[in-house]
């Protein structure tokens, strides 16, 4: 007998299995007073405890408006059947990640559909800012993070660390990594992660470093060196970051950023030795034009009149946070000295401005010109070394030799020509030349001023003394700020391809470097034996050190083993040493470009995801228009995997975090 004919009615009761159902568990709850009903956490109402009724309830407008923002479009069964559409969505997401704001996705997708209504791939595309954000965070970012971790493998690496603040004045620790890529056969320096600091002391920085390395599944024991600026919190010998990490890694090497050191040395030497009004001349010349288009137009017209229609180059700003920005400023002022002098002569009469009057008097005093003529070649020489440490495609093993050569060159300008001393380690003040030669243009200008009776002997003596004091102070500052263990670091040049292929090698220096890099006595003994036979192989790459060692790493003998393994490992450890913080400064520049004033509410998770994608493409030497994602990444688009990260991190018992959506309207936020 059926239930209908028996007069009994069957009511479905709430099942506990529904609490594990992916499509129901986020919002369903049992009703204690009535087992035939289920409670919707989002709508705050009861629904019949029937599976089909519950499924239909998820599609109602009431439920869609009431459900959390992160699960509104979440459906574990949905998928995009057209792989071309998924690939198009990934391409657009990558483009927006690299070149535009994610909020533009709404208009870009609608624009594509309107202009290509007959294109099936475009018409099936369903993506706006929310989905685009999830794709970047959960799919593209994870793809490049996984690829980076696979590329590093179990090899040794170094990190660059520095602190900065974003547009919302949150303290952030930036970390970049330097390692040898077995797949690309080269040394790679790239972005790792930005992490927020609750406090800027050494203990919290060390915890942050360990957490980042742990999240990327990188072993702390494989850390060779850390590159930092000269802040005491980083390099303090008692409780600094390096000191605390070295307690766990005894062989950890500290490399102070040479670019920071050179900048500080030049600034300190200028402040101690040169006239203060020179700094006023440089800074105020830039300020005079920076905020007035009228002044720029007048000066451009004057310059074109005096130079047959050629337009002038802008006077850059001398900024302490930009390494050696004084050099291009001095260079531009020297090139335009006559035109600037004429401009301020006219401006002091037309604008009747005190600044113009002062600047005209300074440009009329040719002793200031003599000072700048002396400074220009010195700053250019320092800038060339600084650029080497900022560059990527250089012979890293020769960098410290270039730095010491710069110091010797500065000292050579001061000491007597007949003096034969160690210019790097000796006290050069005891061997100073009473009247050193300070450069062709400077000497010519001094003689010209004396011929015109514009310079007395007393003035000449004063100018020469200030110039010599600047050189002496610069030499002292560079000497004080040289990296520790300079001699050992200089011996790293022994690993250059030229020295390796020589029949006679400085084995003592190479063994000293290996010990410095933390190699065991057994490895050093084996590497020393390998040194004697490495030049017996006919290598292909004999000009590029990096390519040479990549070839050594791939070399195999008849048994399939690498007979130079220990030597190769030590050489790679030397090549991945960080010599400047230029890479981490590039990260901060990219951060300020991505998280700007219009996008100041962007969360750290989304910021990290965008930077991971951008630097991942740079590491691959690809662009958003050329990079091809693997089929596994394309297959995730349109599935719940895209939304998995945010849905797991959001709980119904906590407020919904909408900070990862950029440029969202506050009224829309209230409606959500």
Using one digit for the tens of pLDDT, what is the confidence trace for 605-656?
Answer: 999 999 999 999 999 999 988 899 998 888 888 777 777 654 333 333 333 3
On whether both 314 and 452 belong to a single domain, the answer is yes
Residue where a domain stops, chosen among 543, 575, 607: 575
Closest of 640, 631, 637, 636 to residue 77, by C-alpha = 640
Are 297 and 239 in the same domain?
Answer: no
Angle of CA points 283, 289, 294, to nearest 5°:
165
In a domain, 646, yes or no: no
CA angle (571 as vertex; 566, 577 as ends), nearest 5: 135
β-pairing verdict for 253-256 and 223-228: parallel
664-671 — which CB contacts under 8 Å span 24+ positions? Answer: 664/103, 664/129, 664/601, 671/65
- DSSP bridge pairs for 195: 173
Residues 278, 212 share a domain = no
Q: Are residues 420 and 458 located together in one domain of the fold?
A: yes
Q: What percent of the chain has pLDDT over 70?
A: 91
Return the DSSP state at 415.
B
Q: In this predicted model, what pLDDT tens digit does every residue of 103-130 receive, in sequence order?
A: 899 899 888 888 888 888 888 888 889 8
pLDDT beyond 60 at 657: no
pLDDT tens digit sequence for 285-330: 999 998 889 999 999 999 999 998 899 999 888 876 677 788 899 9
Residue pair 253/515 in contact (Cβ under 8 Å)? The answer is no
One domain for residues 472 and 493: no
Q: Are residues 458 and 400 in the same domain?
A: yes
Average pLDDT over residues 475-495: 79
Residue 286 lies inside a defined structural domain of this protein: yes
- Cα of 112 vs its chain's centroid, Å: 34
In a domain, 195, yes or no: yes
pTM of the model: 0.78
pLDDT value at 660 more than 60 = no
**Residue 321: per-residue pLDDT:** 63
**Bridge partners of residue 38, in order along the sequence:** 30, 47
Answer with the residue of higher pLDDT: 67 or 422. Answer: 422
Tens digits of per-residue pLDDT, 575-586? 898 888 888 999
pLDDT bin (cut points 50, 70, 90) of residue 668 is: very low
Which of 664, 662, 665, 669 is closest to 594 using CA atoms? 662
Task: Give dist(CA 645, CA 648) in Å, integer.
Answer: 5
Is residue 326 included in any domain, yes or no? yes
User: Is residue 313 located within the same domain as residue 414?
Assistant: yes
Helices then strands, each counted (H, E), the chain? 31, 8
Residue 639 token pair: 């599935």
The residue from 446, 480, 514 where one domain ends is 480
Structure tokens given for 614: 């951008």
pLDDT at residue 96, as a whole number: 92
Cα–Cα nearest to 18, from 8, 9, 28: 28
287 compared with 485, residue with greater pLDDT: 287
Same domain for 495 and 465: no
Per-residue pLDDT at 58 exceeds 90: no
Residue whose tokens read 């709508």: 43
Average pLDDT on 219-246 reads: 89
Residue 168 pLDDT > 70: yes
Give the whole-angstrom CA distance, residue 561 versus residue 186: 21
- Statement: residue 666 has pLDDT above 70: no
What band does 84 get if pLDDT is binned at 50, 70 and 90? Answer: confident
pLDDT recorded at residue 487 = 67
Q: Is residue 118 part of a domain?
A: no
Asked whether residue 554 carries a pLDDT value surpassing 70, the answer given is yes
Assign 462 a pLDDT band (cuts: 50, 70, 90). Answer: very high
Total structural domains within the chain: 4
8 Å CB contact between 428 and 415 = yes
Q: Are residues 282 and 378 in the same domain?
A: yes
Rounded to 5 degrees, φ, ψ at 291 are: -115, 15
250 found inside a domain: yes
Distance CA 180, CA 573 (A): 9
CA gap 345, 354 in Å, rounded: 12
pLDDT at 213 over 90: yes
What integer best gives the mean pLDDT of the chain? Answer: 85
Write the pLDDT tens digit of every residue in 153-165.
999 999 999 999 8
Instruction: Choose the final residue of a domain: 480, 495, 510.
Output: 480
Q: How open is the CA angle 169-100-132, to the nearest 5 degrees?
A: 95
Asked, for residue 190, whether it belongs to a domain, the answer is yes
Co-location of 450 and 301 in the same domain: yes
Residues 389, 248, single domain; the answer is no
Please state, in angstroms and rounded to a whole number, the distance separating the CA atoms of residues 139 and 644.
10
The CATH number for 226's domain is 3.30.420
pLDDT of residue 147: 94
Q: Cα separation of 561 and 389, whole Å?
A: 36
Task: Give the domain extent around 514.
Answer: 487-575
Domain membership flag for residue 499: yes
Would you tell me the crossing angle of helices 354-364 and 366-390 to the nearest 10 degrees? 90
Whether residues 217 and 289 fall in one domain: no
What angle (nearest 5°) sits at the alpha carbon of residue 112, between those of residues 108 and 113?
Answer: 120
Residue 394 confidence class, pLDDT cut points 50, 70, 90: confident
């Amino acid at each position: 007998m059926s239930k209908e004919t028996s007069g009994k009615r069957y009511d479905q009761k709430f099942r506990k299995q529904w609490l594990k159902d992916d499509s129901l568990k986020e919002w369903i709850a049992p009703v204690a007073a009535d087992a035939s009903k289920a409670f919707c956490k989002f709508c705050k109402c009861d629904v019949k405890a029937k599976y089909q009724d519950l499924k239909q309830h998820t599609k109602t407008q009431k439920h869609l408006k009431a459900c959390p923002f992160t699960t509104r479009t979440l459906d574990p069964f949905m998928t995009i059947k057209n792989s071309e559409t998924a690939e198009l969505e990934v391409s657009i997401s990558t483009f927006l990640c690299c070149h535009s704001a994610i909020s533009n996705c709404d208009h870009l997708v609608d624009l594509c559909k309107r202009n290509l209504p007959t294109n099936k791939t475009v018409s099936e595309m369903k993506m706006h800012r929310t989905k685009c954000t999830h794709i970047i965070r959960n799919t593209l970012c994870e793809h490049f993070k996984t690829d980076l971790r696979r590329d590093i493998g179990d090899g040794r690496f170094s990190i660059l660390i520095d602190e900065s603040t974003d547009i919302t004045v949150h303290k952030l620790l930036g970390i970049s990594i330097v390692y040898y890529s077995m797949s690309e056969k080269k040394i790679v320096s790239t972005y790792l992660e930005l992490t927020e600091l609750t406090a800027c002391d050494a203990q919290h920085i060390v915890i942050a470093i360990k957490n980042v390395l742990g999240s990327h599944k990188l072993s702390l024991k494989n850390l060779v060196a850390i590159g930092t600026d000269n802040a005491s919190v980083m390099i303090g010998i008692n409780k600094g970051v390096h000191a605390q990490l070295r307690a766990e890694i005894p062989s950890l090497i500290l490399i102070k950023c040479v670019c920071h050191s050179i900048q500080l040395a030049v600034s300190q030497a200028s402040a101690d030795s040169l006239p203060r009004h020179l700094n006023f001349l440089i800074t105020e010349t830039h300020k005079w034009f920076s905020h007035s288009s009228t002044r720029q137009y007048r000066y451009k017209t004057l310059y074109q009149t005096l130079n047959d229609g050629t337009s002038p180059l802008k006077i850059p700003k001398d900024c302490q946070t930009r390494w050696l920005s004084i050099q291009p400023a001095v260079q531009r002022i020297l090139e335009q000295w006559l035109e600037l002098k004429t401009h301020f002569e006219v401006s002091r009469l037309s604008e009747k401005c005190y600044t113009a009057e002062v600047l005209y008097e300074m440009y009329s005093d040719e002793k200031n010109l003599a000072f700048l003529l002396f400074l220009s070649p010195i700053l250019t020489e320092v800038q060339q070394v600084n650029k080497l440490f900022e560059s990527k495609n250089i012979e890293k093993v020769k960098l410290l030799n270039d730095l010491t050569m710069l110091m010797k060159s500065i000292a050579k300008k001061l000491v007597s020509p007949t003096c034969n001393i160690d210019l790097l380690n000796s006290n050069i003040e005891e061997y100073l030349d009473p009247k050193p030669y300070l450069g062709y243009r400077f000497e010519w200008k001094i003689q010209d001023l004396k011929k015109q009776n514009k310079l007395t002997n007393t003035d000449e003596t004063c100018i020469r003394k200030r110039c010599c004091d600047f050189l002496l102070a610069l030499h002292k500052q560079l000497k004080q700020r040289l990296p520790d263990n300079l001699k050992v670091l200089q011996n790293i040049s022994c690993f250059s391809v030229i020295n390796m292929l020589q029949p006679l090698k400085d084995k003592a220096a190479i063994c000293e470097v290996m010990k410095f890099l933390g190699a065991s006595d057994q490895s050093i003994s084996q590497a020393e034996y390998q040194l004697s036979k490495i030049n017996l192989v006919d290598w292909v790459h004999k000009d590029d050190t990096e390519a040479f060692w990549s070839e050594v790493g791939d070399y195999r003998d008849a048994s399939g083993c690498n007979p130079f393994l220990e030597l190769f490992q030590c050489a790679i450890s030397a090549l991945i040493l960080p010599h400047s913080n230029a890479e981490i400064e590039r990260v901060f520049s990219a951060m300020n470009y991505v998280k700007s004033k219009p996008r100041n509410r962007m969360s750290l998770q989304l910021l990290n995801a965008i930077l991971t994608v951008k630097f991942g493409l740079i590491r691959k030497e690809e662009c958003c228009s050329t990079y091809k994602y693997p089929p596994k990444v394309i297959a995730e688009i349109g599935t719940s995997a895209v939304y998995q990260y945010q849905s797991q991190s959001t709980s119904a018992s906590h407020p919904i975090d909408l900070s990862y959506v950029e440029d969202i309207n506050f009224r829309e936020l209230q409606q959500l």
